[in-house]
Amino acid sequence: MSTLAEISTPTDESPPTEADILIVGAGPAGLYGAYYAGFRGLRVAVMDVLPQPGGQITAMYPEKPILDIAGLPSVRGRDLVDDLVAQAAPYGPEYLLGHQAVELSYDDGLPVVRSAQGATVRAGAVVVTGGIGTFTPRPLPAARAFEGRGLVYFVRHLADHTDQDIVIAGGGDSAFDWADSLVPLARSVTLVHRRDRFRAHAATVDRVRDAGVEILVNSAVTAASGTDGLETVQVTHLPDGTTRELKAQTLIAALGFTADLGPLLGWGLELRSRRIAVGTDMATNLPRVYAAGDITDYPGKVRLIAVGFGEVATAVNNAATVIDPEAELFPGHSTDGPAERK
């Protein structure tokens, strides 16, 4: 199986890349698009600002069990990414990781995308699968001095927190998912939320309660202390101002994040609710530019990884007929016969 470490990334000095399809975004939809375009016999390049594939999954919840992928009752985030990379690997997609797509122009009618790091890709079509765009965690000012010394925004490896006292700030899905995953490993887990209502799935909230996680509502983390690293956090009960000190070697700030389409806003794409508007063929308003996954919007849109898989296949198939007008919109199923591999 191909692993993330085996993927090579072109340097800034590499010559311009020529591709049939450039996929902008290496999250699940983009990686599946790399496989599907390869299956169709198309040369593929994949560009992403992050230094490794996986998008939000790799950056935010690599250890989280994902439950809504068809045919997989449960799959860990990092395992899903590894499998998607392995699925595309036989077709040799070229990865430009750590490259932010900033500029779109046209050369003889074909889209040309330049990255902030100096890479250039000339393609027959572009498929944007950038998820929610660039995402930045919402800060926790009371503990900002402990970033890298106990304060984290994402849990990348559950085992790193074995036998620790952990405080989680937040009341959404991420906060409760981390609590649910960490409680078997940690010495203690305490969840702190500013309100008495939660945005997380009710079943997860019940499971966390039943596991014995202490949940402090109407409360906030208002201070943190420690010598070499985080040792304690102060929690204030907001209605009456009373405080409580908790031991903590790790403080997880699961307060959400802000998203920004960044340079894509300058491409001239039609937006709907700050997402890219597409038609049923996943085409945007720009020639030879398609989009798929969470970054798109259309009436009835449902944002699931499973939906993104179907959307990117639709985008690739429609792009293929623009690249080659004699190509069939639907090339057949992968089970119809052996696909030609490069």
Residues at the annotated binding site? 48, 56, 61, 101, 135, 294, 335
The encoded tokens of residue 276 equal 């890219």
DSSP helix/strand/coil, 206: helix
- Torsion angle defined by CA atoms of residues 178, 182, 184 and 189, in that order, rounded to the nearest 10 degrees: -100
Q: What one-character-per-residue DSSP string does 65-79 give?
A: EE--BTTBS-EEHHH
- List the 219-225 sheet strands across, edge first: 219-225, 232-237, 243-247
What residues are designated binding site for FAD?
48, 56, 61, 101, 135, 294, 335
Cα 284 to Cα 57, 102, 276, 290, 319, distances in angstroms: 25, 17, 7, 5, 11
User: What span, in angstroms and rounded, lies between the C-alpha atoms of 247 and 233?
Assistant: 7
CA-based nearest residue to 319, from 78, 6, 20: 20
